[in-house]
Amino acid sequence: MDHLKKFFRQISLRSKLVALMSGLMILGIVATAWGTSYTLQSTLMQQIDSDLAANSGPLMNSMLQLNQQNSSSTQPSNTDTVRLLRFNGSIRTPDGSVYYALPTASQADTPQIPALTLAQVQELENRSLDIPGTASGSDGWRMKAFALADNSGYMTIALPLNQAKDTIEQATASIMFTGMLSTLIMSMIAYGATSRAFRPLIRVERTAAAIAAGDLSRRVEDFPPETEVGRLSHSLNAMLAHIEQAFRGRAMSERKMRQFIQDASHELRTPLVTIRGYSELYRQGGIKEPEHIAQAMGRIENEAKRMGQLVEDLLTLARLDEQRPLDVTPVDLLLLASDAVEDAKVSAPDRVVRLIGIDEGPPRSAPTRGDEARLRQVVANLMTNAMRYTPAGSPIEVAVGVLPVIDGRSDSVLAIRDHGPGISEADAKRVFERFYRADTSRQRETGGTGLGLAIVAAIAAQHDGSVRLTNTDGGGATMSIHLPHVPFEPLDGPESDMDDDDGSPLETRNVKGTDAEKSSTPENDGARGIISWTKDKGSKK
């Protein structure tokens, strides 16, 4: 059984279909031949029965006449002889004894008429009987028995079945021969038709083989979508597109991972080499003067801090890559911008840092939803980047606001504009890549790891937002983070429920004043009172 199953599995689908169609045709031919044979036999038997019934009366009269002629030595006419040669007839007594038997032209085969009594004949009610013949290989005879009118006996009349059976056999053989010939011709036609119908599948198979060999760029030929092959080709092409995209993504991910490991190793190696060099120099006695020792220790400390910052940034990116869930709460970008400006004024009091609106007017609330700690990290990274790579005296503006609805979406935006040397077009395309530096030596001098903007881009993407780089009018670069605008639902009125440290609403901060004359005063000088502005873009006090 297993060998048979294996054999059938090895047969091609085309051959199976042709064999199935041929088998069904043969079954149909056999059924047709059997039905035709049965119908023809019934028809011929009815004709024989009708012939027997129609000739029973004349045959009886002829036999009585022949009996009288034999008694008087008178020969029957040739016409009567020829007409009676077809039948086998006899007149019998009530007990079945032969009273008179009609002579036949040939004694090679005669019917074996059973010895019936008159009562049995009357029970037959003129039904026909199939009886055997005396000759070997006889096809048998068809017989009827009729009681005489005076019940003095009965007569039998029979016809041979050889002609009827020959007719049936010839008809059956003709049907079978014609059917088999038709089956052969139709099988050849079916094989050609299925071969033609399977050509698209063969092309699909060849394309799939090429793809399996590694050519993922190949695609299956498009066929009409109403056909099975068309639906198959469409599904295969869709699957191949996903597979190619997955392989391309995996290859790109592997390349990025290799590059990331190389860059991380290189970045970690640089501070380690510095630390190791100063340590070995000190151990070997190359540094003896106190001021030189202090300088070496300072360099070691700075490189250790840089290495620690690099490791911290790497851990941050690793956590972002894991897509850990965010602690999402309502966040106002105005609050983050205000805090960033205040922090900048404390850390760099010599800079002019202004908080303005996105439209150059007064800053307004820019509500969204997100992880406040992550978003603060974004603002801090952008602010640090702007302060680190611009001249000390250049101003910085922090713009915040809500953009109009575009394509059904409105964004809350926080932008940090600097007026430094700016970023070239070539570098602008890669600044958000990990470890990319527009000026490697300068970044190392300023302590950058090359991961700050990559972290910003990753956090923005997690918040369904984006970070964009544009040129500042007059020179410089503008980094802006765009997040979905999600208005807050007030709890106790139209005012915001986000309060200042002293409990007052955010709208009352003097960093967000609404009067043109608003400025810093002695009583509000501090982290939140050192920024003032006027309607003509404000000025630092």
pLDDT tens, residue by residue, 30-80: 998 899 889 998 999 999 989 888 888 888 887 777 777 665 544 445 445
What are the b/e assignments for 56-82, b being 16+ CB within 10 Å? beebbebbeebeeeeeeeeeeeeeeee
At 415, the pLDDT band (50, 70, 90 cuts) reads: very high
How many CA atoms within 13 Å lie on the side-chain side of 196? 5
Average pLDDT over residues 494-511: 38
Distance between CA 539 and CA 534 in Å, rounded?
7
Average pLDDT over residues 409-438: 83
Distance between CA 156 and CA 95 in Å, rounded?
13
At 306, the pLDDT band (50, 70, 90 cuts) reads: confident
Q: Which range, of 53-57, 376-380, 476-480, averages the lowest pLDDT?
A: 53-57
Question: Distance of CA 192 to CAs 3, 14, 111, 197, 298, Å?
Answer: 29, 10, 56, 9, 88
Average pLDDT over residues 410-418: 92
Mean of per-residue pLDDT scores for the chain: 78
Q: Render pLDDT for 120-138 as a digit per residue (tens, 0 to 9).
A: 988 887 788 999 988 888 8
Whether 208-324 and 12-167 are alike in CATH topology: the answer is no
- pLDDT of 70 reads 62
CATH top class, domain 326-524 = alpha beta
Q: What are phi and psi of 73, to 5 degrees?
A: 65, 30
At 366, the pLDDT band (50, 70, 90 cuts) reads: very high
For residue 474, give the nearest of 421, 426, 427, 431 by alpha carbon: 421
Question: Distance of CA 35 to CAs 40, 41, 42, 168, 289, Å?
Answer: 8, 10, 11, 11, 122
Q: Render pLDDT for 439-459 as a digit per residue (tens, 0 to 9).
A: 544 444 555 667 778 888 888
Choose which CATH entry (1.10.287.130, 2.60.40.10, 2.30.110.10, 2.60.40.1180) describes domain 208-324.
1.10.287.130
Higher pLDDT, 278 or 86: 278
Q: In the chain, where are the structural domains located?
A: 12-167, 208-324, 326-524
Judge whether residue 531 has pLDDT over 60: no
- pLDDT of 335 reads 93
How many CA atoms within 13 Å lie on the side-chain side of 519? 9
For residue 158, give the nearest of 219, 226, 86, 92 by alpha carbon: 86
Judge whether residue 492 has pLDDT over 50: no
Q: 12-167 — its CATH code?
A: 3.30.450
How is residue 477 written in tokens? 């670069």
Question: Distance of CA 158 to CAs 113, 211, 414, Å?
Answer: 9, 80, 117
